[in-house]
Amino acid sequence: MPYRSAAQAFLHGVRTLMPLTPGVIPFGLVTGVLAVGMGLSPATAMGMTLIFYSGSAQLVALQLMQTGVLPVAIVVTALIINLRFTMYSASLAPHLHHLPRRWTWPVSYMLSDQSYALSTLKFASGELTGPFAHWYYAGTAFAMWLVWQLSVLGGVLLGAGIPERWSLGFAIPLSFLALLVPGLRNVPTLAAATVGGLIAVLAVSLPYNLGLVLASVGGIIAGLIAEGVRKPAGQTLRTQETEGEAP
């Protein structure tokens, strides 16, 4: 059902994103704590967070900085980790390409795993229609961006005051599981998730998080193959049914 106004679509996006924040806040806190633990000033840590806006890339970059890796290697690593956003953008482009640049630039910057997953599910199901559909995505993207910035700021301010026994890192995979399960709606998505997950586990020891890139590519290929197998089978079944109805 189309939204009646931009405000309604935006607020719906914000409300939809909120249940995912318990898995995001610990991630941000850990990132902020690590930044100040390395000796970065609060201003530098938050400036990095604003420029990066990618939790996984920022966390890895901080770890590489801590070990004295060359800056060019840090930049290349961050780019490799963020290659998935290229696939996200390609997936969302058919739904958002008509927007002017004053829209596409900020929403591209605020693209995240969570906002992409929530929006693409609704676009794929046909729930997001009408002139205000993109405001739903904007609501999820802005809410996610704000929660992340505030979470990292909290970690920066608290510093080493967060006890390790809280095991905040455990909440991170749980938040992604909450995004994954609703998307398993058919055989291609199940194949993509299964193959991608297996590759990620087997390639976890690869440097620069290359396992994540390989898992993404492998999952896409598996999904496309499963989709290609399913379509001919469905077409054959419809052809047989049509021939059976012929006089």
Place of tokens 């909440």: 171
Give the C-alpha separation, 225 to 70, whole Å: 40
Confidence grade of residue 247 (pLDDT, cut at 50, 70, 90): very low
Query: pLDDT, tens digit, for every residue of 129-183?
Result: 888 889 999 999 999 999 999 999 998 988 756 666 555 555 555 555 655 665 5
Q: Of 138, 164, 183, which residue is a domain's last?
A: 183
The reply to whether 124 and 189 lie within a common domain is no
Find the domain containing 154 and state its range. 6-183
The reply to whether 108 and 222 lie within a common domain is no
pTM: 0.69
Share in percent of the chain as helix, strand, coil (round to 5): 85, 0, 15
